[in-house]
Amino acid sequence: MSTLRGARVEDATVVVTGANRGIGLAFVTEALERGARKVYAGVRDPQDVTPELAATAAEVIPFEVTDPEHVAAAAARCGDATVLVNNAGLHAQDRLVKCADPDAARREMEVNYFAPLAATRAFAPVIAANGGGSIVNVLSVAAIAPTAFMGGYSPSKAAALYLGGIARAELEPDGITVTSLVVGSVDTRMAAHVDGHKEDPRDIAAAGLDAMQRGVWTADTDRMAVESRARLALDPVRYERGLGKLLFVESLSTKA
């Protein structure tokens, strides 16, 4: 593993996509509380900002992650950026093969893979010109094993996991670290249909920023992520079969 350390949050200039709520809002709040010099909060529509985001000291910017013009404009506007958090995500809650909407998987791939790729391409030169820094990709336990009940979401997050590894190798000479976060069930709108314990988004953001500062390549941010990786390592077939059985349950729960 490289000895390159990640950006310090204190005095950093941080760009967060999908910042209106959930994990994105948590990254905004956590970075500001840790002394970030500036935080750009990327949202699809600056006219539709949540009260929670509006109450922060972040600078809200238009950043529809699948729009090339938005991506280019954000990179130009945030010329002082030293950290990029690719957080925006989409879970269409459809199956992959036996799907209700054949285009759902394509939209998930656009948001969860091609969008962070485009943002990384746009912001890497900016971060390098500012002396280096870090890129953080918010992923999921669905990235580490085929997660049948998450349809096209799981393949898109797996693709993003590989994106992180390849970008890391390419950008290390520019002084840029790339950290991929493997995240379990979190108390956000995306997991509203899941019963049981869910992590506080602020805890995920805190763990993610800690991992970024250490220069960690891939970080399991919470108990579910750690336990999922352990079960996968112990018996991959049993783990994947268990995920497949969740296709047929009436409701999802984080309880064992």
Question: What is the DSSP code (8-state) at residue 186?
Answer: B
Residues forming a β-bridge with 135 = 84, 178
Domain presence at residue 47: yes
Please report, for the chain, how many H helices and E strands are present, in that order.
9, 9
**Amino acid present at 150:** M
Cα gap 209→56, rounded to integer Å: 18
Q: Which CATH number belongs to the domain containing residue 35 in this structure?
A: 3.40.50.720
Residue 38 belongs to a domain: yes
CB 45 within 8 A of CB 103: no
Domain assignment present for residue 3? The answer is: no
pLDDT at position 254, please? Answer: 67
Give CA–CA dist 156/23, Å, rounded: 18
Residue 67: per-residue pLDDT: 98
Q: Do 41 and 19 form a contact (C-beta atoms < 8 A)?
A: yes
Q: Which two tokens stand for residue 31?
A: 């970075």
Q: State the 10-residue block means of pLDDT for the chain, 256 residues long.
A: 84 98 96 98 96 98 98 98 98 96 98 98 98 98 95 98 98 98 79 65 96 97 94 96 89 61
Digit-coded pLDDT (tens) for 92-143 = 999 999 999 999 999 999 999 999 999 999 999 999 999 999 999 999 999 9
Structural domain tally of the chain?
A: 1
Nearest to 194 by CA among 136, 137, 250: 250
Which residue, chain included where needed, has tokens 């909060």? 41
DSSP H/E element including 171:
helix 153-171
- Between CA 144 and CA 156 the distance in angstroms is 11
In a domain, 175, yes or no: yes
158/136 Cα distance (integer angstroms) = 15
Burial environment of residue 51 by CB neighbours within 10 A (0 to 12, 13 to 18, 19 or more): exposed
Give the residue from 11, 37, 39 showing the smallest Cα distance to 205. Answer: 39
What residues have CB less than 8 Å from 111, skipping those under 6 apart? Answer: 65, 66, 88, 89, 90, 156
- The reported pLDDT for the residue numbered 105 is 98
Which residues form the domain of 162?
13-253
| Inside any domain, residue 45 | yes
Q: Is there a domain that residue 2 lies in?
A: no
CA angle at residue 53 from 48 to 57, to 5 degrees?
125
- Per DSSP, the three-state class of 188 is coil
Is pTM beyond 0.85? Reply is yes
CB neighbour list of residue 24: distance below 8 Å, 6 or more residues apart: 16, 17, 18, 41, 85, 87, 88
**Is there a contact between 74 and 61 (Cβ–Cβ < 8 Å)?**
yes
